[in-house]
Amino acid sequence: MPPMDEAEIHAILSRIILSGRLPGRTKLPEMRLAERFGVSRERIRKVLHRLGHERLIDVVKNRGAFTVAPDLSEIRTVFEARRILEGGIAAHLADGLTDTGLLRLRDHVEREAEALRSGDRATWLELSAAFHVLLAELTENPIIVQQARELVGRTTMLATFFESATGSQCGCDEHRAVFRALAAGERGRAVRAMASHLAQVETRLKPFVCSDAAPDLDGLIDEYVGETSAA
Ligand SMILES: [Zn+2]
């Protein structure tokens, strides 16, 4: 395959990791990935570090990069933090969202529904996580954005391990309920819609069992590289 740039390699590896098809603690070997993608080990290291910052993998000093294997107690802590932070974000936005902000939100909710309709699960998962980051961005407070990004990243990672095979992470209808409450400027309703949404996301997380027949890392790279170049 032709050499890829860091963004392309990052996109492919994110998709593989977020597909939940690699078992926890799978090593992501720098050397082998460098050969597969036809780039230097430094390039691969940069991509792996970025994935580590996004909490999609664990990067362990002197040992390398691994897919994560989170424990169930982490779910409670992460969701409690999200309810506190995102309830506050919803309250804040209900009091003064601009027309531009509302348009961005509406557009986003529509794109989520479209991805779900067309069966594009990877895009839909990305968009549903991005909805929460977008709400944080609309506060125009960089500290809130940073916290939201980290918590959403951790949830996405947890979802790949604890999501039921058929279940969804974020319900489009639930996002729409948050959007409508914000559009109406109804603070109490917006906070309740967000709390109810996050509670439902948490409830939907169940232990996810990887199929024994799942392809290995090389097989998944072949599959996802093919998908990317066909798109
Ligand atoms: Zn959501």
- 138-197 pLDDT, tens per residue? 999 999 999 999 999 888 777 766 664 444 567 778 999 999 999 999 999 999 999 999
CA of 180 to the centre of ligand 1 (A): 14
% of the chain surpassing 70 pLDDT? 88
Cα 60 to averaged position of ligand 1 atoms, centre (Å):
30
Q: How far is the centre of ligand 1, averaged over its atoms, from the C-alpha of 76 (Å)?
A: 16
Instruction: Give the Å distance between the CA of 125 and the centre of ligand 1.
Output: 10
Cα 112 to ligand 1 centroid, rounded to whole Å: 10
Q: What pLDDT score does 167 carry? A: 47
Locate CATH 1.20.120.530 in the chain: 72-204
How many whole angstroms from 190 Cα to the centroid of ligand 1?
A: 13
Ligand 1 mean position to 49 CA, how many Å?
26
Q: Residues of CATH 1.10.10.10 domain(s) within the chain?
A: 6-69+213-230
CATH code 1.20.120.530 for 72-204: yes
Q: 6-69+213-230 belongs to which CATH class?
A: mainly alpha
Distance 171 CA to ligand 1 centre (A): 6
Round the average pLDDT of the chain to a whole number and report it.
86
Percent of the chain with pLDDT over 90: 54
CA 74 to chain centre: 16
What's the confidence (pLDDT) of residue 230? Answer: 53
pLDDT score, position 168: 52
Distance 61 CA to ligand 1 centre (A): 33
CA of 68 to the centre of ligand 1 (A): 22
